[in-house]
Amino acid sequence: MIVTKMTVDGNEFFLDAEQDVDGAKEQVVEAAQHGAGLVDVTIAGHVSVSVLVSQQTPVTFEQIVAEEEGADHAFGDDFWSWAELAL
């Protein structure tokens, strides 16, 4: 399983498994090119977050390969399951 962590100005967000990561990257670049803009993402737990990104805002995307802890482990909506895997 791949977990994507987006860090914006030091704040970490674990993206929802269904989040279009390439689309989020494009939004970040577009916002920076226009001076500033809101980037909308869905984080683990299906929570929508809007982040203000400017040319001075550091944004990183990190993909973490996490091994599942058994076939019956449910990741879905549980944020802490995602966070524990990424740490």
**DSSP letter string over 2-57?**
EEEEEEETTEEEEB-TTS-HHHHHHHHHHHHHTSEEEEEEEETTTEEEEEEEETT-
**Average per-residue pLDDT for the chain:** 86
Averaged over 68-83, what is the pLDDT?
54
> How does residue 76 score in pLDDT terms, banded at 50, 70 and 90?
low
Task: Report, as an integer, the average pLDDT of 32-55.
Answer: 97
The mean per-residue pLDDT over the stretch 12-41 comes to 97
pLDDT category at 71 given cuts 50, 70, 90 is very low
Q: Is a pLDDT exceeding 70 seen at residue 2?
A: yes
